[in-house]
Chain A
Amino acid sequence: QKEVEQNSGPLSVPEGAIASLNCTYSDRVSQSFFWYRQYSGKSPELIMSIYSNGDKEDGRFTAQLNKASQYVSLLIRDSQPSDSATYLCAVIRSTLGRLYFGRGTQLTVWP
């Protein structure tokens, strides 16, 4: 079982819609969760971090964490074509203290 699983997509949504990206993780005691955005041919950039159950909002982005279900998601409201990228979920396992990445979900927002 992989440490971090993401639905690989691709996910395609129209401009203005809500894009929903999902991620599950295997280590039940993981404490820190991150979403990185990666444009094609570029390096990843951190867009959200979440550490406790519930929702965390930052502009059009909302991260949701459910530790009981070992599930973390990213919602992008009012999606824009500039949001088209691959979104990587990353988790820190408490025992090793380093990041594990999922394989990413490719999102396309069409005008």
Chain B
Amino acid sequence: DGGITQSPKYLFRKEGQNVTLSCEQNLNHDAMYWYRQDPGQGLRLIYYSQIVNDFQKGDIAEGYSVSREKKESFPLTVTSAQKNPTAFYLCASSPPGLQAEKLFFGSGTQLSVL
């Protein structure tokens, strides 16, 4: 089955620690995205990538980093510089052309601070 796989489902971060959230897709989509969702809030864009080896900052990129070495993979690192990382993180991808507006989401990772 084609889809987007996020792991882990739950993640705990200690003070000063960097953690990496995994996102893998087998939909052959060029574009991939990372969103953050806080309780009662909409989705805010962290980073996005339209093509391999290229990515752009979204609205709340500070304290986060990404890489896009393979088309299938778009991992997100939450660095120690992100002082309030507790949130639900969603990875998404979109197909090329006119369908690029429609996002396909992974199941999400809930990150909490110990």
Known interface pairs A42-B107, A43-B106; A88-B101 also in contact (CB < 8 Å):
no
B45 within 8 A of A: yes
* Size of interface on A: residues with Cβ below 8 Å to B: 21
**B108: A residues at CB distance < 8 A:** 41-43
A62 within 8 A of B: no
Give chain B's interface residues, CB within 8 Å of chain A.
35, 40-45, 48, 90, 100-103, 105-108
A46 within 8 A of B: yes
CA distance A99 to B48 in the complex (A): 11
A107 within 8 A of B: no
**B106: A residues at CB distance < 8 A:** 43
Q: Is the CB–CB distance between A98 and B45 below 8 Å?
A: yes
**How far in angstroms is the closest Cβ of chain B from A69?**
21
**A98: B residues at CB distance < 8 A:** 45, 48
Q: Is the CB–CB distance between B40 and A49 below 8 Å?
A: no
CA distance A58 to B43 in the complex (A): 25
Q: Is the CB–CB distance between A88 and B42 below 8 Å?
A: yes
A-B contact pairs, 15 of them (CB 8 A): A4-B42, A34-B101, A34-B102, A43-B105, A43-B107, A43-B108, A44-B43, A45-B105, A46-B102, A88-B43, A101-B42, A101-B44, A102-B42, A103-B40, A103-B41
CA distance A34 to B106 in the complex (A): 18
**A99: B residues at CB distance < 8 A:** 45, 101, 103
**A101: B residues at CB distance < 8 A:** 35, 42-44
Choose from A4, A43, A92 the contact partner of B101 (Cβ within 8 Å).
A92
Top 8 nearest A-B pairs (CB, nearest first) are: A43-B105, A101-B42, A103-B42, A101-B43, A103-B41, A102-B42, A32-B101, A43-B108
CA distance A101 to B107 in the complex (A): 18
B-contact 0/1 string along A34-76, CB 8 Å cutoff: 1000000111111001000000000000000000000000000
